[in-house]
Amino acid sequence: MTKANKSKNARRTRVGTLFMLSVLLLGSAALRLGFEAGPAIAREVASLPEAETHSNDDVKHSESIPSSAELQHMLVAFQQREDALAAREAEIEDRMKAMEIADQAITQKLAALQSAEANLEATLSLADGATESDLTRLTAVYEQMKPKESAPLFEEMDPGFAAGFLARMKPEAAAGIMAGLSPQAAYTISVVLAGRNSSVPKE
């Protein structure tokens, strides 16, 4: 074997040895990393869900339970609402009482008006009855008087008033009084009597 061949073989042997050492070192490093990093990574991975779960639970718990300030605000709002409802209820009750009092007053006034109206009708009825009775009685008095005694009285009466009496009297008594009147008074009373009768329907 030549010297050149020996030199090549020696280089190849060194290169192979270095390559084997590098492979062994890399394998050892990989194994070390695997043994050391594996459990650490596993621990980190295992701890992450638990931390996130606790964090989510804390967030949900904090969201579901209001704070003391929020509770105080809610209590104040509820109290204000209750006070407003109580005030509104009291106002409605006051209005209802006022309406009841007004209704009672109106009912009393209506009863008083009805009573006054009934009394007025009774009074007018009595007055009409009394007037009618007085006119009937006075007419009978004029009828019983002699024409020469009653004629001067009718002469002084208002023509309308005198015509009213003569219309109520018996024809014989009225004719006797008319005969004792002056021509002017008799004419005026006759016109009034004719006017009163002209308004009476003929059919």
For 177, other C-beta atoms within 10 Å of its C-beta total 27
N-term to C-term CA, the chain: 180
pLDDT the model gives residue 121: 72
60's enclosing H/E stretch is: helix 3-64
For 196, other C-beta atoms within 10 Å of its C-beta total 13
pTM summary value: 0.37
177 and 166 in contact (C-beta within 8 Å)?
yes
The per-residue pLDDT string of the chain (203 residues; one tens digit each, 9 = 90 and over) reads 555 555 555 556 665 666 666 666 666 655 555 555 555 555 554 555 544 444 555 545 555 676 888 888 888 888 899 899 988 988 998 888 888 898 888 988 888 778 777 776 766 665 566 677 888 888 889 889 999 999 999 999 999 989 989 999 999 999 999 999 999 999 999 999 888 765 544 45
Q: Is the dihedral of CA 116, 119, 125, 130 positive or negative?
A: negative
